[in-house]
């Protein structure tokens, strides 16, 4: 037996919230065990405890000859860490290096205790050869010299898995692997994990909300609900009992609204050394109507995120126009200024790599979001800027930066040499108590109550974070909502809740909703229209079932 977990208990907030309660199970050498459960069930807490990076209240963990209890010395926890490796949920902690150098750094950690790079050329080449073999396992060898920050979400997830495999752990822990990968890429990841399991004799425990991931990898799984093991046994039996509790889907409704946004002859080309042309969208024309949900699908790296960022005004086309209706007139988003700022206020966006500020209270997040979406708040920012001699165009550029994920905001501000306080002085937060009313309205659409407003981000489950982030995207009752693969790590029951929430948002606010997702069942269930993109080109545009079917002809369903 490789692992024995006995009577594990974990609480937060001085015992007010119980994450795990009397959890016990075992794992054999080389076994693959699947864990499923709703958002907030305690899956991520369990994996972090098994990794040795999260304290616990009672119980014990034994792996090999190492036994860890709550009062064990730090050295024992370090021994546990030496036998394990983990991929955290929605964590893209990568070095700003090439993919192969990211793996080399992980290999060096095993040797040196730090993620340094070899200085000797011969030593580097030896490490590179081994790292390339690991990249081949996760099917990233053709992207080895590409910088990590320009990889797609799915490619980043596979690179993180390669880095963990490079540590040669006895037990690999995966928190929602493959959540943002297309079906074809998911097959590659599953094959990679099977090879790591067999060739490296590596046991794997993975938490996944994807039933087919469990079917493909595990022979045994456990279901966690309310911090307890509610069910365990063969995969199909546990899955059937869990999925039987899903709420029914709301019916689709057809709303024929006016065109709210349009691509006109848009071209966007990416060129990176040493790859040359990596992505191209050429002379593309698309329209998006209010009251219509459009799903965009395609393989990882096809250009879906770039398309959405252009729709949001966060990336500019090389040629052509991205136009949005504001006060019954077309506004060009690529033209900086007052008009485009107000047009962009009507756009809510939820990024693929959204990262809510870890220490913030949820109400503070809403107050800050109102600061960049409220008409009067934006007008006040323009007036303050004018007094300081800052042009409308510069304010608009900073307004777009403020709409990016938090980590990207920091990187952009460093790049242009502007302190974050300048951004805060321009776009001030709304008074929290005044923002509370609109926050409650947005949270209600997500099935969340007022009690969540006083919680900190670090106290939220993965599913709660997604729903809070979506509520932030709709707080200003936008006419256009852009969702870039934010739902990949939701459990099926929570995903159904979100699916129904999107249908209610459509009925209530009548926005044009454009979403990217690799969960094809979800796309079919919620979308009125579907677009397939491959290699930067629109391949198909029509009924979701037909377009999804065309995509699936090119890859096996997983």
H, E, C per residue of 353-365: CCCCCCCCEHHHH
pLDDT at residue 149 in the model: 78
Alpha helix positions (H), 120-277? 121-137, 153-165, 183-199, 211-217, 235-243
With H, G, I as helix, E, B as strand and everything else as coil, classify residue 33.
strand
pLDDT at residue 39 in the model: 74
Residue 42 vs residues 8, 79, 226, 316, 551: alpha-carbon distances, Å: 11, 24, 7, 41, 35
With H, G, I as helix, E, B as strand and everything else as coil, classify residue 144.
coil
Percent above pLDDT 70 for the chain: 95
pLDDT at residue 199 in the model: 81
Q: Please write the tens of the pLDDT for every residue from 339-364.
A: 999 999 999 998 876 778 778 899 99
Q: Please write the tens of the pLDDT for every residue from 482-510.
A: 998 877 767 888 888 889 989 999 999 99
Higher-pLDDT residue of 252 and 93 is: 252
pLDDT at residue 277 in the model: 54
pLDDT-derived band at 90 (thresholds 50, 70, 90) equals low
Higher-pLDDT residue of 38 and 56 is: 56
pTM of the model: 0.76
pLDDT at residue 491 in the model: 82
| Cβ atoms within 10 Å, residue 429 | 17
Q: Please write the tens of the pLDDT for every residue from 189-248.
A: 888 888 888 888 899 999 998 888 999 999 899 999 989 999 999 999 999 988 888 899
Higher-pLDDT residue of 455 and 302 is: 455
pLDDT-derived band at 275 (thresholds 50, 70, 90) equals low
Radius of gyration of the chain (CA): 24
pLDDT at residue 278 in the model: 59
Alpha helix positions (H), 65-178? 74-83, 99-112, 121-137, 153-165
The yes-or-no verdict on residue 272 having pLDDT over 80 is no
Report phi then psi at 480, rounded to 5. -135, 130
With H, G, I as helix, E, B as strand and everything else as coil, classify residue 131.
helix
The yes-or-no verdict on residue 276 having pLDDT over 60 is no
Lowest average pLDDT, out of 84-98, 212-226, 541-555, goes to 84-98
pLDDT at residue 359 in the model: 80
Q: Name residues whose C-beta falls within 8 Å of residue 146's C-beta, 6 or more positions apart in sequence.
A: 98, 99, 272, 275, 278
Instruction: List the chain domain ranges.
Output: 3-243, 259-552
68: enclosing H helix or E strand: strand 66-68
Q: 259-552 has which fold? A: Rossmann fold (3.40.50)
What is the spatial distance between Cα 231 and Cα 324, in angstroms, rounded to a whole number?
Answer: 50
331: enclosing H helix or E strand: strand 329-332
What is the spatial distance between Cα 453 and Cα 396, in angstroms, rounded to a whole number?
Answer: 30
The yes-or-no verdict on residue 557 having pLDDT over 50 is no
The yes-or-no verdict on residue 179 having pLDDT over 80 is no
Q: How many helices (H) and strands (E) does the chain have?
A: 20, 20
Mean pLDDT, the chain, integer: 88
Report phi then psi at 489, rounded to 5. -105, 25
What is the spatial distance between Cα 83 and Cα 527, in angstroms, rounded to a whole number?
Answer: 44
Residue 140 vs residues 154, 188, 323, 467: alpha-carbon distances, Å: 11, 10, 36, 32
Handedness of CA 270, 275, 278, 283 (dihedral sign): positive
Percent above pLDDT 90 for the chain: 53
Whether the ω angle into residue 275 lies within 30 degrees of 0, i.e. cis, is: no
pLDDT-derived band at 555 (thresholds 50, 70, 90) equals low
Mean pLDDT confidence for 400-422: 86
pLDDT at residue 273 in the model: 54
Architecture of the domain delimited by 3-243: 3-Layer(aba) Sandwich (3.40)
The yes-or-no verdict on residue 300 having pLDDT over 50 is yes
pLDDT-derived band at 365 (thresholds 50, 70, 90) equals very high
259-552: same fold as 3-243? yes
pLDDT at residue 545 in the model: 95
The yes-or-no verdict on residue 558 having pLDDT over 60 is no
């Amino acid at each position: 037996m490789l692992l024995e977990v006995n009577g594990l208990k974990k609480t937060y907030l001085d015992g007010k919230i119980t994450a795990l309660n009397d959890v016990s199970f075992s794992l054999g050498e080389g076994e693959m065990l699947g864990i499923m459960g709703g958002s907030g069930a305690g899956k991520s807490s369990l994996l972090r405890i098994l990794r040795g990076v999260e304290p616990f209240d009672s119980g014990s963990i034994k792996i090999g000859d190492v036994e860890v209890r709550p009062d064990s010395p730090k050295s024992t926890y370090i021994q546990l860490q030496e036998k394990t490796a983990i991929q955290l949920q929605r964590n893209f902690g990568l070095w700003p290096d090439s993919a192969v150098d990211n793996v080399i750094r992980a290999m060096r950690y095993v040797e040196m205790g730090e993620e340094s790079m070899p200085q000797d050329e011969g030593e580097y080449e030896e490490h590179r050869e081994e790292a390339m073999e690991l990249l081949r396992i996760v099917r990233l060898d053709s992207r080895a010299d590409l910088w990590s920050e320009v990889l797609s979400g799915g490619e980043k997830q596979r690179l993180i898995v390669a880095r963990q495999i490079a540590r040669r752990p006895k037990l690999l822990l995966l928190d929602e692997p493959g959540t943002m990968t297309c079906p074809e890429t998911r097959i590659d990841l599953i094959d990679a994990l099977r090879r790591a399991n067999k060739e490296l004799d590596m046991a794997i425990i993975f938490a996944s909300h994807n039933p087919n991931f469990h079917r493909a990898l595990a022979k045994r799984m456990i279901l966690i609900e309310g911090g307890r093991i509610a069910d365990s046994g063969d995969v199909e039996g546990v899955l059937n009992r869990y999925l039987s509790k899903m709420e029914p889907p709301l019916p689709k409704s057809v709303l024929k609204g006016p065109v709210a946004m349009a691509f006109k002859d848009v071209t966007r080309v990416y060129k990176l050394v040493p790859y040359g042309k990596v992505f191209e969208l050429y002379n593309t024309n698309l329209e998006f109507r209010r009251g219509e949900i459009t799903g965009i699908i395609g393989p990882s790296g096809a250009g879906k995120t770039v398309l959405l960022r252009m729709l949001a005004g966060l990336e500019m086309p090389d040629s052509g126009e991205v136009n949005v209706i504001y006060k019954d007139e077309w506004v060009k988003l690529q033209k900086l200024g007052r008009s485009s700022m107000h047009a962009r206020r009507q756009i809510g966006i939820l990024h693929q790599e959204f990262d809510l500020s870890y220490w913030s209270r949820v109400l503070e997040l809403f107050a800050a979001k109102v600061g960049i979406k409220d008409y009067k708040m934006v007008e006040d920012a323009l007036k303050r800027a004018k007094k300081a001699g800052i042009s409308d165009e510069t304010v608009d550029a900073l307004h777009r930066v403020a709409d990016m994920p938090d980590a990207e905001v920091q990187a952009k501000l460093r790049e242009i040499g502007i302190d974050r306080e300048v951004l805060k002085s321009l776009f001030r937060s709304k008074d929290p108590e005044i923002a509370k009313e609109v926050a409650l309205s947005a949270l209600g659409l997500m099935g969340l109550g007022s009690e969540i407003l006083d919680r900190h981000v670090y106290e939220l489950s993965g599913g709660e974070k997604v729903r809070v982030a979506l509520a932030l995207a709709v707080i200003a009752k936008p006419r256009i909502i852009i969702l870039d693969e934010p739902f990949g790590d939701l459990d099926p029951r929570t995903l159904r809740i979100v699916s129904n929430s999107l249908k209610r948002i459509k009925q209530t606010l009548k926005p044009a909703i454009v979403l990217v997702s690799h969960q094809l069942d979800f796309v079919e269930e919620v979308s009125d229209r579907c677009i397939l993109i491959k290699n930067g080109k629109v391949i198909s545009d029509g009924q979701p079932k037909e377009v999804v079917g065309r995509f699936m002809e090119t890859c096996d369903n997983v």
